[in-house]
Chain A
Amino acid sequence: MSGFAAVLLAPQLLEATIRLSTPVTFAALAAVVCERSGITNIAMEGIMLVGAFFSAYVGWLTGNPWIGLLGGLVAGAAFSLLFAWATVSLHINHVVAGAIMNILAFGLTRYLMMVCYGRQGTSEAVPLTLDHYRLRVPLLSNIPYLGSAVFNQTPLVYLSLISVAALAWTFARTRFGLSLTASGEHPMALETLGRSVYRVRYQAVLLSGLLCGLAGAFLSIENSNSFTEGMTNGRGFIALAANIAGGWQPVGVFLASLFFGLVDAAQLRAQSIGLIHLPSEIFLVFPYIATIVAVAGLVRKSRPPAAVGKDFNVEGGGD
Chain B
Amino acid sequence: MKRFVIAVAAAVLVFAFGPGAPAFAQSSKPFVAMCTDTNGLGDGSFNDGVWAGLKKAEGEGLASVKVLEAHSMTDYIPNLTGLAEGGSKLVFGVGFLMVEQIQEAAKDEPNTFYAGIDDYFGGNVPRNLIGVSFREQEAGYLAGIVAGEMTKKYYKNSKLLNDKNVIGAVLGMNIPPVERYLAGYIAGARSVDPTVDVRFITVGSFADRAKGKEAALALNDQGADIIIQLAGLSGMGVIDAARERKFFAIGADVDQNAAAPDYVLTSALKGTTMSAYLLIKDLAAGTLKGGENRVFGLKEGAIDIAPFHQFDSIVPAEVKQAVADAKAGIASGKITVPSTLAELGIKQ
Contacts and interface: CB of A to CB of B under 8 A. Distances in A.
A220 B25 CA distance: 42
Given A271-B202, A283-B202, 13 more contacts: A2-B222, A16-B214, A19-B214, A121-B43, A225-B240, A228-B233, A228-B236, A233-B210, A233-B211, A264-B211, A277-B348, A280-B204, A284-B202
A231 B240 contact: no
Nearest to B36: A120
B240 A224 contact: yes
Contacts of B40: 110, 120-121, 229
B219 A231 contact: no
A281 B233 contact: no
B46 to A, nearest CB: 12
Contacts of B71: 106-107
User: What interface size band does chain B fall in?
Assistant: 35 or more
Interface string A229-252: 111010000000000000000000
B252 to A, nearest CB: 14
Contacts of B2: none
Contact of A231 (B41, B202, B209, B347): B209
A20 B209 CA distance: 11
Contacts of A316: none
B325 interface: no
Interface string B62-98: 0000000001000000000000000000000000000
B42 A10 contact: no
Interface of B: 39-44, 48, 71, 168, 171, 174, 199-205, 207-211, 213-215, 217-219, 221-222, 233, 236-237, 240, 243-244, 259, 347-348
B42 A121 contact: yes
A122 B202 contact: no
Contact of B199 (A23, A274, A283): A274
Contact of B201 (A10, A122, A271): A271
Contact of A233 (B205, B213, B219): B205
> In the complex, which of the residues A107, A230, A265 has the most CB atoms of chain B within 10 Å of its own CB atom?
A230
Nearest to A231: B209
Given A230-B233, A280-B174, A224 B207 contact: no
A7 B207 CA distance: 26
B41 A272 contact: no
A119 B47 CA distance: 13
14 contacts: A2-B222, A7-B221, A19-B210, A110-B40, A121-B41, A224-B209, A224-B213, A229-B207, A230-B233, A231-B207, A233-B209, A233-B210, A284-B202, A284-B204
